[in-house]
Amino acid sequence: MQNVLAVDVAKSKSMVTLVSSCGEVLIEPYEINHSIKDFSNLLNRINKFKLDNISVIMESTGIYHRPIERFFLENNFKVFVINPIYGKMYKRNLRKTKTDKADCFNLVNLFFTNTFKEYIKPKQLYLDLNALSRQYFALDELCVNIKNRYRNLLYLCFPEFEEIFKGNMVYSNVALEFIEKYPHADIISNTRIDKLQNFFKKHNYKSWKSKPLKIKEAASNSYPSIGINDELVSNLSQIARLVNEYQKAIDIIKYKITFLAKKSKYFEPINSIYGIGEFTTSIIIAELGDINRFNNIKELTAYCGLDPSIKQSGKSINVHGPISKSGNKYMRKILYISVSNIIRLTAISKQENDIELYYRKKRNEGKHHYASIVACTTKLLRKILALCKQLDNQ
């Protein structure tokens, strides 16, 4: 006889109930806190029934289900973590009622009427890689916002600086530390040239003599939008320091991800694909984890949210709908960047590449650039899965 512990997860607390396959409610729904005391009490209540076959089912709720998931995995229970979208579709009814107790029983019914894969905890290598990957994306997003702020303040305090340090050089270590120390054109014009030269010399800058002359000349002719005593000047100095710190933190994370990813057996096959570098390979492994857990390309595309959405009404079937976007958004981002790089590098090298040829085929069919790129991301996924499966079958 099967028995299921249904857990309706909330932040720092959950509603739980234990039900047998014949419908007997062994533990009436009650609320527990995510604490050692409440978890232990629940485990003692379960053990009193001396049942052999007990499974635990819960919805994936970001980070909130992690404590209770960890507890039952460490106590050797079969744990099933289901997609909340699937659970929501199953709960639909005519009445607009929702209670935590009702949600528990909905999970019970869902468990006994459907087949789910048991949750298998990934290897620690993939857990560490995923943690680093999410930290990288979080810091990168913050860094982009701070960089925008930096450029805006720089325009107000010393607009000519971007003409001297062009493009991404304005975010270089020496440029950021210079602006942190000299955040206004008037400060620079009032500073001796030998002092400016010493600054660049200490940073081992190649043009440490000529660069300060250009900066001082530009600062002397500059008319900033704000005065030297404006509060925005100190804001620019602070923002320049933050950009520098974030970039250094991101570089450390990129090194750690690449170092760990090289320990995975999938690193070399994925890295062998033309146009995919070591860091991109590392991010792909970090987000996909053990790729062998995907049985086919449909599962992999669904995980990445690249599966097409299909709508049907009567005789009308839209098989060419947009992608669902219900999967891993970070994988979609890195796949989009990877395909774009492959197409660009192939065009520069003038070599034949299956991804680039597929892109041209879609463009010739009249597809938009973005639609063609998305189609290529699925083809790239097929290539990644095939290479990794081939390695596992050796």
Is the Cβ–Cβ distance between 140 and 250 less than 8 Å?
A: yes
* Phi–psi pair at 36, nearest 5 degrees: -60, -40
| Residue closest to 340 by CA, chosen among 304, 374, 290 | 374
Confidence category of residue 17, pLDDT binned at 50, 70, 90: very high
Q: Which residues contact 174 (CB under 8 A, 6 or more apart)?
A: 200, 203, 205
Q: Is the pLDDT of residue 89 over 70?
A: no
Confidence category of residue 87, pLDDT binned at 50, 70, 90: low
Instruction: Give residue-wise pLDDT tens across range 298-336.
Output: 999 989 998 877 666 666 655 567 788 888 999 999 999
Task: Tally the C-alpha atoms within 13 A of residue 281's C-alpha that lie toward its C-beta.
Answer: 23
Q: Is the pLDDT of residue 69 over 70?
A: yes
What pLDDT, on a 0 to 100 scale, did the predictor assign at position 114? 80
What pLDDT, on a 0 to 100 scale, did the predictor assign at position 65? 92
Confidence category of residue 352, pLDDT binned at 50, 70, 90: confident
Instruction: Give residue-wise pLDDT tens across range 252-297.
Output: 999 999 999 999 999 999 999 999 999 999 999 999 999 988 989 9
What pLDDT, on a 0 to 100 scale, did the predictor assign at position 282? 97
Residues found in the chain: 394
Q: What is the mean pLDDT of the chain?
A: 91
Confidence category of residue 62, pLDDT binned at 50, 70, 90: confident
Ordered alpha helix ranges (H), 308-368: 329-349, 354-364
* Phi–psi pair at 57, nearest 5 degrees: -125, 140
Instruction: Give residue-wise pLDDT tens across range 25-42.
Output: 999 999 999 999 999 999
Dist CA 177 CA 141 (whole Å): 22
| SS3 sequence of 170-190 | HHCHHHHHHHHHCCCHHHHHC
Give the number of other CB atoms < 10 A from CB of residue 109: 15
Dist CA 174 CA 161 (whole Å): 13
Provide the greatest CA pair distance for the chain.
87
What pLDDT, on a 0 to 100 scale, did the predictor assign at position 377? 95
The CATH number of the structural domain formed by 127-260 is 1.10.287.4070
Q: Kindly state the tokens that stand for 139.
A: 């810091």
**How much of the chain, in percent, has pLDDT values that exceed 90?**
75
Is the Cβ–Cβ distance between 90 and 102 less than 8 Å?
A: no
Q: Give this prediction's pTM.
A: 0.85
- Kindly list the domain boundaries of the chain, sorted by start residue: 3-113, 127-260, 287-392
Q: Kindly state the tokens that stand for 15.
A: 């509603």
* Phi–psi pair at 51, nearest 5 degrees: -95, 145
Residue 289 gets the label, from left (phi > 0), alpha (psi -120 to 50) or beta, of left
Instruction: Give residue-wise pLDDT tens across range 185-205.
Output: 999 999 999 999 999 999 999
What pLDDT, on a 0 to 100 scale, did the predictor assign at position 61? 86
Q: Kindly state the tokens that stand for 45.
A: 């209540």
Give the number of other CB atoms < 10 A from CB of residue 167: 8
| Buried/exposed code over 244-259 (b: 16+ C-beta within 10 A; e: otherwise) | bebbeebeebbebbbe
Cα three-residue angle 14-16-18, rounded to 5 degrees: 165
Topology of domain 3-113 in CATH is: Nucleotidyltransferase; domain 5 (3.30.420)
Identify any residues that bridge with 31 across adjacent strands, giving them in sequence order: 15
**How much of the chain, in percent, has pLDDT values that exceed 70?**
94
Q: Which SS3 state, helix, strand or coil, does residue 54 take?
A: strand
| Residue closest to 161 by CA, chosen among 153, 381, 316 | 153
Sheet holding 13-20, edge to edge: 25-33, 13-20, 3-10, 54-59, 78-82
Is the Cβ–Cβ distance between 281 and 356 less than 8 Å?
A: no
**Which segments of the chain are extended strands (E)?**
3-10, 13-20, 25-33, 54-59, 78-82, 311-313, 316-318
